[in-house]
Amino acid sequence: MSTSASPSAPQPEPRPKKARPGKPRARKPQPNRARPQTSAQAAAPAQAPAPAAAPAAPGPVPQPAVQPQPAPVAAAAAAPPPRAGRVLLAVAVATLLAGSGLALSACGGHAKPQAWQPMTAVAAQAGGPGIADLHNGFPLGAAAGLPGMPPLLSPTDVYAADRPNVLSPVVQKFPSRIYVPNTLSNTVTVIDPATYKVIDTIPVGHEPQHVVPSWDLKTLWVNNDLGNSLTPIDPATGAVGKAVDVHDPYNLYFTPDGKYAVVMASNDHALVFRDAHTMKLVKSVPSQCAGVNHADFSPDGRYFIVSCEFSGDLLKVDTAKMEVVAKQKIPIDGSMPQDVKISPDGKVWYIADMMADGVWELNGDTFAAPTLLKTGAGAHGLYVSRDSKSLYISNRGEGSVSVLDFATGKLVHKWWIPGGGSPDMGGVSADGKVLWLSGRYNAEVYAMSTTDGRLLARIPVGDGPHGLCVYPQPGRYSLGHTGVFR
């Protein structure tokens, strides 16, 4: 990989300052990006919206040069069965997996890689789906909710596939790395988590915001927001492919059926659905708010909740229809909602708010007004522990991490970064033992023990580090952001 990074022109955002040792203090909240646009600007996106339609046959569209992409997963044609039927089928699938040796280690503590066996033969013997109905060894079908979406492994835990070191066959041979996009340096820093050393610096496009695993886990997409492109990285080799033109890719998500990428086009005030493999434009949906940035999907994949940083709105989006079906304003003035994450049982949505200094708790089904739980100044990133018991909340403004217990809904710990810092976005290691976070305003990355919050390492990187990606991680497929796996 190249190490001859050559940063582009100076960035508009003020240069971050280094942390000063001493008593931690709250930092005045800053937006994630430097230039929220006016509604008039947003009304003229660079790429004209196309009518909703199935992706066209492969043609002369930009292709990532890293590796060939498989064909999109075929959507199931049948309508979903009643809820009771779906629950029973999900339980049956979980039972079948347990019997076939695919049982996932429970509640953490298992650092040794788990055995992974193809499910095809087992399913066939049980009269289950044939090979054509399987993806990565798991059955597809309408029973999971959104047609074509792999069913959940557990009806009570959407993160049941994310247990420690249970890696998909797709990623098992990938080297473990931390990929850090430096928004002001126009580079991606690559860290070896075994040594905490920087091993590479990759030049990318203008203002990289997030590094996002593709739905099929085979590619890492660097979101070059102001560069209007996605840079592909092959996580098997570290090779960098040819950038793909995509306008305003502040953040990137994937629909649970693997068909579409959803570009959070913050400046364009739009949610842009693209083919998940070719990135060909499918439909641009006006967001009706300012600063679309983060999201998470319902357990059945039929809708997702989106936060709007600059207007303080929340959106509810119908996944199949690609339509905003509900919108509400967060009930405080000046709200700046950030990361979004659903509880393991699918009942509570958590939305970090760096102006409210806490997380909003929302019922996604009813979409009633949320309630606030204070965590710390500048609440920002949300990460679920590998045993699905805890939620880590980075408080960027005060240099701390709050820990929420899902079972009680209460905060049980607050971990401080010695000397202060600006913990932002990140992820949990494959074994669940380390929480990695970027230090947005300190040009550094933090590695913290998930056992006691102890700071394990503080690693200098480029300027403005933001949505770092820990890779690989457990899970069957990626829903996007810095790693939301099911």
pLDDT along the chain (486 residues), means of 10: 36 40 51 49 40 36 40 33 40 36 30 34 32 40 74 94 97 98 98 98 98 98 98 98 98 98 98 97 97 97 98 98 98 97 97 98 97 98 98 98 98 98 98 98 98 98 98 98 97
CA distance 174 to 196: 18
**Contact criterion met (CB below 8 Å) for 388 and 377:** no
Both tokens of residue 143? 């029973």
Sign of CA dihedral 21, 29, 252, 145: positive
- Nearby residues of 412 by Cβ (< 8 Å), 6 or more positions away: 390, 403, 404, 405
Whole-number Å distance between alpha carbons of 351 and 426:
16
Six token digits for residue 310:
């600059």
Distance between CA atoms of residues 475 and 153, nearest Å = 11
With b meaning 16 or more CB within 10 Å and e meaning fewer, what string describes 210-233? bbbbbbbbbbbbbbbbbbbbbbbb
Q: How far apart are CA 101 and CA 322, in angstroms?
A: 38
Q: Hey, what are 172's tokens? A: 């098992």
Q: Tokens 């990137």 sit at which residue?
A: 252
CA distances from 329 to 42, 288, 338, 367 (A): 20, 12, 14, 11
Closest CA to 69 of 216, 206, 271: 216
**Three-class SS of residue 265?**
strand
Rounded to whole angstroms, how far apart are CA atoms 133 and 73? 10
The overall pTM is greater than 0.85: no
DSSP letter assigned to residue 93: H
Q: Which H or E run includes 96?
A: helix 83-99
What tokens does 197 get? 């050393």
pLDDT at residue 32, rounded to an integer: 64
Q: Which residues contact 432 (CB under 8 A, 6 or more apart)?
A: 108, 164, 385, 386, 387, 450
The single-letter code of the amino acid at 369 is: A
Amino acid 468 reads L
8 A C-beta contact, residue 283 and residue 49? yes
Q: SS3 for 217?
A: coil
Distance CA 140, CA 276 (A): 17
Dihedral over alpha carbons 294, 483, 190, 417 (to 10 degrees): 70
In angstroms, the CA 354 to CA 330 distance is 12
Q: What is the largest CA-CA distance in the chain?
A: 64
What is the per-residue pLDDT across 223-266, written as a single tens digit (0 to 9) for each?
999 999 999 999 999 999 999 999 999 999 999 999 999 999 99
- 399: burial class by Cβ within 10 Å (0-12, 13-18, 19+)? buried
* pLDDT score for 145: 87
The beta strand positions in 343-450, using DSSP E, are 349-353, 358-362, 371-374, 379-384, 390-395, 400-405, 410-416, 423-428, 434-439, 444-449
Q: Assess whether the previous peptide bond of 60 is cis (omega < 30° from 0).
A: no
Cβ distance 257 to 146 under 8 Å? yes
The residues near 80 (Cβ < 8 Å, ≥ 6 apart) are 86, 142, 143, 145, 147, 300
Residue with tokens 């196309």: 50
